């Protein structure tokens, strides 16, 4: 059974264009397509908090929607 929404399959911290750290996520969509998204540090920390994880590796398996609303 496929997920009804995009799910985080990998997360890594990487340097951004301005030298600040970014959170780079690989998402898998319900149709099987993959997408890479970069988040600024503040948004990345909010996503981690919404998912209840202390390390970026803990984000795998969580719905992408949690970035927006904690749902």
Is residue 15, in this structure, part of any structural domain at all? Answer: yes
> Model-level pTM?
0.82
Is residue 45, in this structure, part of any structural domain at all? Answer: yes
Is residue 66, in this structure, part of any structural domain at all? Answer: no
pLDDT of 69 reads 63
Q: Give mean pLDDT, residues 54-66.
A: 90
Q: Domain residues for 34?
A: 1-54
Closest alpha carbon to 66 in 55, 56, 49 = 49
With a cut of 60, say whether residue 62 has pLDDT above it. Answer: yes
Q: Give mean pLDDT, residues 5-26.
A: 91
With a cut of 60, say whether residue 70 has pLDDT above it. Answer: no
Is residue 36, in this structure, part of any structural domain at all? Answer: yes
Is residue 44, in this structure, part of any structural domain at all? Answer: yes
Total domain count, the chain:
1
Q: Give mean pLDDT, residues 18-45.
A: 92
Q: What is the DSSP string of the chain?
A: ---SS-EEEEEEEEE-TTSSEEEEEEEE-TTS-EEEEEEEHHHHHHHHHHHT-SSGGGGTTSBTTHHHH--
Query: Measured between alpha carbons, how far is 5 from 7 in angstroms, rounded to an integer?
Result: 6
With a cut of 70, say whether residue 43 has pLDDT above it. Answer: yes
Is residue 69, in this structure, part of any structural domain at all? Answer: no
């Amino acid at each position: 059974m496929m997920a009804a929404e995009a799910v985080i399959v990998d997360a890594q911290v990487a340097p951004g264009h301005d030298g600040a750290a970014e959170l780079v996520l690989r998402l898998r969509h319900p149709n099987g397509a993959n997408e890479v998204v970069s988040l600024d540090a503040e948004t990345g920390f909010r996503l981690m908090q919404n998912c209840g994880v202390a390390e970026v590796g803990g984000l795998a398996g969580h719905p992408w929607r949690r970035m927006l609303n904690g749902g």
